[in-house]
């Protein structure tokens, strides 16, 4: 039987749910998921699949960010904390989570964005996400700073069929602690 996919805003998740999601992140990222990464995935809509015993099998969230491009500010649904338990890879769970997050982006944002890991890039490309070819910057406390280490990992989603910015130029993301993307 296929486990149901659920969505909930962070405020609707109880402490045990949040602990279960965090445990999934730690397992899936083999200890490379920081407290700042965790914080980045909170405050938005979570999509997740749980086993019958309550174990989280897959998760992703979408949170609001601001991105400057071409003289205007875009309200962006930024995808965070996407993971599938290693023993459940290649079962379609990541695609189910992403489909739910894309529906949220289509309904609530001007476009979607994410920073793909090497492992996740194939999933995002297959779903129609577009790799950003321009530069990545952030509006840091000291001014605009280019982030060349982030270039090549940024992907955009054309929310509800809206045109994407670009194809080149700079995307200037809002500042946050830890990794900007």
Lowest model confidence (mean pLDDT) among 40-44, 66-70, 102-106, 116-120 = 116-120
- Structural tokens at position 105: 């982006």
Bridge partner list, 72: 69
Residue ranges of the domains in the chain?
Answer: 5-174
Residue with tokens 């490379």: 32
1 pLDDT band, cuts 50/70/90, is: low
* Helical segments of the chain, H only: 15-28, 35-40, 93-108, 121-126
Average pLDDT over residues 1-20: 93
Whether CATH 3.40.50.720 fits 5-174? no
Residues 95, 123: contact at Cβ < 8 Å?
A: yes
Average pLDDT over residues 31-36: 88
pLDDT tens across 78-96, in order? 999 999 999 888 889 999 9
pLDDT tens across 107-161, in order? 999 999 999 988 889 999 999 999 999 999 999 999 999 999 888 899 999 988 8
37 pLDDT band, cuts 50/70/90, is: very high
What are the start-end ranges of the E strands in the chain? 5-9, 45-50, 56-69, 72-84, 111-115, 130-131, 135-140, 143-146, 154-157, 170-174
Count of beta carbons in the 10 Å neighbourhood of residue 81: 24
* pTM, 2 dp: 0.93
Mean per-residue pLDDT of the chain: 92
3 pLDDT band, cuts 50/70/90, is: confident
Q: ∠121-7-126 over CA atoms, to 5°?
A: 20
Return d(Cα 115, Cα 28) in angstroms, integer: 16
Lowest model confidence (mean pLDDT) among 51-55, 129-133, 168-172 = 168-172
| Percent of the chain topping pLDDT 90 | 73
State how far Cα 92 lies from the chain centre.
17
Bridge partner list, 146: 137
pLDDT of residue 163: 80
């Amino acid at each position: 039987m296929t486990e149901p996919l659920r969505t909930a805003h962070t405020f609707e998740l109880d402490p045990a749910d949040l602990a279960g999601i965090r445990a999934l992140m730690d397992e899936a990222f083999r200890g490379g998921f920081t407290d700042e990464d965790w914080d980045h995935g909170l405050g938005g809509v979570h999509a997740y699949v749980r086993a019958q015993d309550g174990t989280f099998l897959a998760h992703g969230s979408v949170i609001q960010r601001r991105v400057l491009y071409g003289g205007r500010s875009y309200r962006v649904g930024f995808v965070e904390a996407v993971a599938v338990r290693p023993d459940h890879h290649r079962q379609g769970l990541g695609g189910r989570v992403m489909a739910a997050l894309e529906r949220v982006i289509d309904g609530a944002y001007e476009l979607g964005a994410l920073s793909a890991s090497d492992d996740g890039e194939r999933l995002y490309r297959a779903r129609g996400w577009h790799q950003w070819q321009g530069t990545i910057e952030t509006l840091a406390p000291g001014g605009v700073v280019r982030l060349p280490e982030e270039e090549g990992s940024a992907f955009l989603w054309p929310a509800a069929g809206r045109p994407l910015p670009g194809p080149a130029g700079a995307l200037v993301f809002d500042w946050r602690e830890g990794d900007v993307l």
